[in-house]
Amino acid sequence: MGVFHQPPDLDDFEAFVERVKPTLLQALVATYGPVDGREATVDALSWAWEHWDRLADVNHPVGYLYRVGQSATRRFLPRPVPARLAEILETRFPDVEPGLLPALARLSEQQRTVVVLVHGYGWRQAEVARLLGVNASTVRDYLNRALDRLRDELEVSDVNGRS
């Protein structure tokens, strides 16, 4: 027989969701893409509702729920990038290099997450480190390796002339 968990007060939970959802959604979309990232966010917030009492003592609920969302994605089958995504990017962001999306997809999960959060959403490296539960130097290493790889794949140079 399962343990009964007292659900949170609806107002408290709605305030919590309003506070954490934008950050959680950005992080999971950066890691898993728009479809699986949104699904993982819903799963993580559903878990939060069902296990509200466990979150009471968590210092960093977004980081904790990020890991819950990661676990939820294990049940997803790998999905291809939607064919229309490139078309949408070209229409909305005509200055974005067309090869960027495939190049991002070839990065490791950690590298892609760091690049999208730092350069796509404007997160500070310390915020990403806290979310991922790693040192800031690890985030910096992921970011530098990812940017070097993207430069190589896209055959571009940065402002310092590195290719």
How do the domains of the chain map onto residue ranges?
8-79, 85-155
Task: Please give the pLDDT value at position 46.
Answer: 94
Task: Please give the pLDDT value at position 160.
Answer: 58
Task: Please give the pLDDT value at position 97.
Answer: 74
Stretches where the chain sits below pLDDT 70 are: 1-7, 76-96, 158-163
Task: Please give the pLDDT value at position 1.
Answer: 46
Question: What CATH number should be reported for the domain whose range is 85-155?
Answer: 1.10.10.10
Task: Please give the pLDDT value at position 81.
Answer: 47
In angstroms, the CA 124 to CA 140 distance is 11
Task: Please give the pLDDT value at position 119.
Answer: 87
**pTM (two decimals):** 0.72
In angstroms, the CA 154 to CA 92 distance is 20
